[in-house]
Structures are given as structure tokens and as C-alpha cells.
Amino acid sequence: MSSGKIEWIRHIKQYFKCSNPANCASSLCNLLASKSPKEQEYFLSNLFGVKMMKKANALCKSLYLSSEDLEWLYESGIVEVGSHTVNHVNLTSCDSITLEKELVKSKIELEKILNVPVNYLSYPNGFYSSEVIEAAK
């Protein structure tokens, strides 16, 4: 078994030590969100099979806010909406093309939903570098 596969199994065992299925699902989604789309696909398809990969992706997407939820929160005035990238990847490990896509697409989608400028960014998992800061400007 490859070291990459062993690392994934270790993470899953760590995250699935829970009694509430919703917590386990949320933990899986958080784990997947910290990986690139290619890593997500590798992980899910190799450990769970393609059928489970589709179910896990659908489950994770159902945990996100809908456009309507986002509009309601923004209009309530109790939150400020900022970008957080498209796939929640570690921006410091992205090549320049992926970095730009992650930052720009997320910002554009939010601005389209809310019809206001989105001027804030929260770095996924708190990871950033001088290159990421410059790209975010």
C-alpha cells in the first residue's frame, strides 16, 4: 500500500471517531475540502469506489449554503460576506493558474449572487504566502 493511501486511511480513522453520522459527514467534507480536486477524486475512488465518490461529493455539496441562504445572511446585516475560494484548497500549493481560478471564480460567483462587490478573502485553513497575498490583490 502506498504511503499516500496510508495517510488517507489514517485521516479517515481520525475523523470518523464519532457517534453522530452528521459529524462524520461534516468531518469527511472538511477533510476533502483541504485537498485538491485531483486528490479528492483519488481518495474517494480508491478507498470507496466511484459510486461512493459521487455520493460523498453530493453529501458535501448539500452541507454548503445555498444562494438563497447566502442572500438572506447578507441582507440580515449580521455578516460580511467574503470570498473563500472555489474548492477550499491550500492556496500555497497551487500553481499560478489554479490560484487565479480559485480566487477569481469564487469572488465573481459571490458578486453575482449578492449583486455587490466582495472585498474580503479568508484563506482556506489559514494558509497563505506572499505570492497568494499578491494574487488576491
pTM of the full predicted structure?
Answer: 0.58
Q: Assign 1 a pLDDT band (cuts: 50, 70, 90).
A: very low
DSSP track, the chain: --HHHHHHHHHHHHHT--S-HHHHHHHHHHHHHTS-HHHHHHHHHHHHHHHHHHHHHHHHHHTSPPHHHHHHHHHHTS----B--SS---GGGS-HHHHHHHHHHHHHHHHHHHSS----B--GGG---HHHHHHH-
The fraction of the chain above a pLDDT of 90, given in percent, is 31
Say whether pLDDT at 13 is over 80: no
In tens, the pLDDT along 100-112 reads 999 999 999 999 9
> 83 has which bridge partners?
121
Q: What is the pLDDT of residue 131?
A: 95
Instruction: Determine the pLDDT at residue 121.
Output: 93
Q: Note the pLDDT of residue 113.
A: 94
Mean pLDDT within 70-93: 86
The predicted model gives 70-81 an average pLDDT of 85
Split at pLDDT 50, 70, 90, the class of 21 is very low
Q: Is the pLDDT of residue 135 over 70?
A: yes
Q: Where are the domains of the chain?
A: 3-62, 67-136
